[in-house]
Amino acid sequence: MSGTDTREETIRLAMECMALQHGERPEVQWLKEKYQEFMRREGIGGKEEADKCIYRRMYGKEPVKQQDILKIRYWRTGRHLPVNHGQCISFGRALGLDGADLRYLLQGYYDGCDEIYQEESPDMQSVYWKRRNAMQRLADGYLRKMPQARLEQMNITRSTLEHSIRHLYYTDALSYIYRGMSEWYLTSHITSMNYDSELGRNMKLLGVIPRKTMIRHLVILGMPGLNLERLNRLLRNFGYLELQEQHTMRSGERLDWLLIRLFAKYEAFRKEHTAQECSLWMQKKCSLLDACFAAEGRNHLRFMYFKSLKE
């Protein structure tokens, strides 16, 4: 696969990705199989009774209204998803899922992380701190490889580097969306202020961090030395599903399919180009893909975009 693909080939890749969204999510098909296993195991003959059983296990009481069990049906058929991570876990446990199956419910069907941290763990040997320290190493590596010329352009010294990560990250993110930023955007740190608290929480791994958001973090912090193998290893270590050919987002889009092909092209390009050329290549490709998805109103596929960029 050539790393020198044209603009037209990149646009075609975006169009192919958008065309793949059809039919039932594979993750919902998997869940339906688990639901059938649950019915057989419990000796339940009808789906309405099975939904009532799941409701009772989740809430410890009998369903009163039809809407009580309707949401169970919506979850198992993929029409809607549980409103939060805790509800998804409760739903999975009511189905009798544990271990790898419960993890796949969270990472595959729910397209999220296997754990959500609301506060820093007091146990420094916990999974939380292993992941938190891994994120810190990524951030440190990102700052170490920052070109001196860029720091001078943005009026950042090495002594203030760590405090400037928000603006460096923000302007990097802009380069994956928009080409040709103004000098004012680069040097005026106030432009990135709106992203300060969110990035801070994300770097501490606190609260809900969608898988697509984590992928963006890994791309920005990991380039230009990022490849598909390392991206998958990082996703796994942070508690997310690795990129899989058939995986779909909650809304049914095939972002994984796109990223697998994008990184295959990138790895081919890397073999004969400098680190600076590689970073520029990825920025250009992501910017073009983002423009294609934005033009078609397919915002779920805009994996390098986030709300603060337009503010």
Cα of first residue to Cα of last residue in the chain, in angstroms, is: 38
Cβ count within 10 A of residue 146: 17
Omega before residue 82 within 30° of 0, cis: no
pLDDT for position 121: 97
Give the SS3 label for residue 193. Answer: helix
Among 20, 42, 65, which Cα is nearest to 301's? 20
Its sign, for the CA torsion 201, 207, 213, 214, is positive
Distance (Å, whole) CA 217 – CA 202? 9
pLDDT for position 190: 60
pTM of the model: 0.94
Structure-block tokens of residue 196: 């300060």
Q: Where are the alpha helices (DSSP H) in the chain?
A: 7-19, 26-42, 47-59, 66-77, 85-94, 99-104, 127-144, 148-153, 165-175, 183-187, 196-203, 211-222, 228-237, 255-270, 275-295
Q: Is 295 exposed, middle or buried (0-12, 13-18, 19+ CB in 10 A)?
A: exposed
User: pLDDT tens track of the chain, all 311 residues?
Assistant: 444 578 999 999 999 999 999 899 999 999 999 999 999 999 999 999 999 999 999 999 999 999 999 999 999 999 999 999 999 999 999 999 999 999 999 999 999 999 999 999 999 999 999 999 999 999 999 999 999 988 988 889 888 888 899 999 999 999 999 865 545 455 555 668 889 999 999 999 999 999 999 999 999 999 999 999 999 999 999 999 999 999 999 999 999 999 999 999 999 999 999 999 999 999 999 999 999 999 999 999 999 999 888 75
pLDDT for position 311: 53
Distance (Å, whole) CA 173 – CA 220? 7
**Among all chains, which residue has been given the structure tokens 């996703």?**
235
Distance (Å, whole) CA 294 – CA 303? 11
pLDDT for position 160: 86
Q: Taking phi first (over 0 means left), then psi (-120 to 50 degrees means alpha), and beta for anything else, what does residue 127 get?
A: alpha
What is the number of alpha carbons within 13 Å of residue 287 lying toward its C-beta? 17
Instruction: For helices 228-237 and 211-222, give the axis angle rounded to 10 degrees.
Output: 130
pLDDT for position 181: 54
pLDDT for position 2: 43
Distance (Å, whole) CA 230 – CA 242? 10
pLDDT for position 182: 45
Distance (Å, whole) CA 20 – CA 246? 10
pLDDT for position 135: 98
What is the number of alpha carbons within 13 Å of residue 213 lying toward its C-beta? 15
Cβ count within 10 A of residue 161: 15
Distance (Å, whole) CA 267 – CA 254? 21
